[in-house]
Structure 1
Amino acid sequence: MNKNFKTQEAIRRWDMHAETFASGYSEVGDIHREVFLNPTLLDLLDSVHGKRVLDAGCGEGYLSRMLSKLGASVLGIDYSNKMLEIAKDRTPKSLDIRYEHGNLEDLSFLEDQSFDLIVSNMVIQDLSEYDRAINEMYRLLVDGGWFIFSILHPCFITPGSGWVKSEDGEKLYWKVDNYFYEGAYEQAIPLDQDEKLVYFHRTLTSYVDTVIRAGFRIEQLVEPKPSSEILEKYPSFTEDFRCSDFLVFKLAK
């Protein structure tokens, strides 16, 4: 754990590992997005047809492409130049998507109330000044707009969390540790590298207090679970799914 890491270090490491990370993505993202996050996000988003949507932290652009195919006009923002290069290469020119480089902590180049809907998929935990980013999302939304964001579940994915296994490798239980620590930590999942990804952990209380202080109203909190159809496709998740890996907020302005 290292509280001294800032967002700039997270950016450097995402640029370094962008190609390796994106290599595991199909047009529906990686397996965890397919199993847990996409069904939840699409359900909460409802219809996006004709809406101005900000994909806040778009990465290699899979969600931007999904939303555009559903009729949205999409701006994808990411702080990793390398991820944006990959997104542009993977995006057909026929789709109504524009990509811009930017850190969600400061999007002052965008005008107030520019978007009907903002979605941020697994990004807020990559920011040291997440409160500034959430305030920016409030500024950029029209009145009555929605901000939907997903994060690693702060109660279960903590610095030091992980499977405790028997001597023969059987998974016994999921250990949670250091829940009240708030700050940066390094995580090798899903990559095994010398310079790991940098995440920033906060408590659930901190997240809730921050969105309320920004002015948002919490409409829904969802802890995604795989559907029976998904479990038929990926039966291994039946055994592994013992706690929630993700938490999704739906906020109203």
Structure 2
Amino acid sequence: MSDRKIVDPNLYDADYYYHDNEGCHEYARGLDVAIHPKYKHVLEIACPQEGDEILDVGCGRGELLYYCAKRGAHVLGLDYSRAAIDIARQTIQMLPVEMRAFVKAEMGDVADHNFSHRYDLIFMLDVFEHMNDDQLERTCEKFKKILKENGRIIITTPNLYYEKYLQPLKMALDLPFRFLKWTFRVIRGKYRPKSAGEFLENALKVRVVGRGEAGKALHVNVSTPRKIRVMLKDFKVDIWCEDPSWAPISLIAKKWWGRQIVAVAQYK
């Protein structure tokens, strides 16, 4: 692995993957019982086929390896976290015996890894934000070498515009509804404030959800659609933003400020 600056892989430990990483609850329930919406969505976008060669960059627990293998694809999961690879290899063992030979999980940094295949599909789900610009530039160069002529790269990542603008705006616009909610709680006897000041503090406080210090250490490069397009300048890219919220402001602004960015890249 390169000795260039990267997020410390030891921060991605087993506790992170089992308890603090998106999709951990579905994973605990069972991959054939519950599929996290992000995996369901990208599988619908990508439509992996039997015999496809697939690379999952930042494979984490290995859910995508599992689901692609179930469709008959040959899959390589790559992650520089030892804990991720250990868990992903356990996930591979959940597959029927005849499918396991077509799936591997290897430890490494995609920018420096020596690949033996070219790929029909390359997934990079919620990984972009964990890589610095130097890593991303070298990764995109590597993609040019290992993506098949008609292959596709599927990227999802949080949207900086959402975190800076839409989320705070949504919280501010929600104030009247928060006031009514807390008022009805008092009327119904479910909340007895000690003072008018305490009531107003709860009813009018804007709470913008943040990642905390630990989350900030991991999410070093939350980006915008424009930045992703620049990074993928050598590819033909379709980029859009998504936001599951039905709030009116989300429906209006999600095209640019939606919570999640989705990019599908191919050779020009």
TM-score under structure 2 normalisation? Answer: 0.67
Alignment of 1:13-52 (within 5 A): 13-15=11-13, 17-21=16-20, 23-26=24-27, 27=30, 34-35=36-37, 37-52=38-53
5+ residue gaps in structure 2?
Answer: 176-200
Shift of 1:39: 3.8
Alignment of 1:94-133 (within 5 A): 94=97, 95=99, 96-107=102-113, 109-111=114-116, 114-128=118-132, 129-133=135-139
Give the corresponding residue for 1:208: 229
5+ residue gaps in structure 1?
Answer: 176-185, 227-236
Secondary structure of the corresponding residue to residue 25 of structure 2:
coil
Contact 2:225-2:261 within 8 A present in 1 as well: no
Shift of 1:140: 1.1
Q: 1:240/1:65 Cα in 2 relative to 1: closer, same or farther (>3 Å)?
A: farther
Shift of 1:86: 1.0
Looking at secondary structure, tell me which structure has more helix per residue: 2
One-letter amino acid matched to 2:261:
L
- Distance of 2:215 and 2:148 partners within structure 1: 43
Q: 1:119/1:195 Cα in 2 relative to 1: closer, same or farther (>3 Å)?
A: closer
Q: 1:46/1:193 Cα in 2 relative to 1: closer, same or farther (>3 Å)?
A: closer
In the alignment of these two chains, the number of paired residues is: 217
Does 2:141 align with 1:143? no
Bigger relative contact order (CA 8 A; separation at least 6): 1
TM-score under structure 1 normalisation? Answer: 0.71
- Distance of 1:124 and 1:169 partners within structure 2: 37
Shift of 1:248: 0.8
One-letter amino acid matched to 1:137:
F
Shift of 1:72: 0.8
Give the corresponding residue for 1:217: 236
Shift of 1:154: 2.8
Shift of 1:132: 1.4
Identical-residue share of aligned pairs (%)? 19
Contact 1:52-1:117 within 8 A present in 2 as well: yes
Contact 2:119-2:147 within 8 A present in 1 as well: yes
Give the corresponding residue for 2:6: 7
Give the corresponding residue for 1:63: 64
Looking at secondary structure, tell me which structure has more strand per residue: 1
One-letter amino acid matched to 2:241:
E
- Distance of 1:241 and 1:40 partners within structure 2: 23
Shift of 1:41: 1.0
The runs of 4+ residues in structure 1 deviating greater than 4 Å are 161-166, 169-175, 192-196, 237-241
One-letter amino acid matched to 1:122:
D
Secondary structure of the corresponding residue to residue 100 of structure 1:
strand
Alignment of 1:177-188 (within 5 A): 187-188=211-212
Higher gyration radius (CA): 2
One-letter amino acid matched to 1:124:
F
Secondary structure of the corresponding residue to residue 140 of structure 2:
helix
Q: 1:98/1:206 Cα in 2 relative to 1: closer, same or farther (>3 Å)?
A: same
Contact 1:55-1:63 within 8 A present in 2 as well: yes
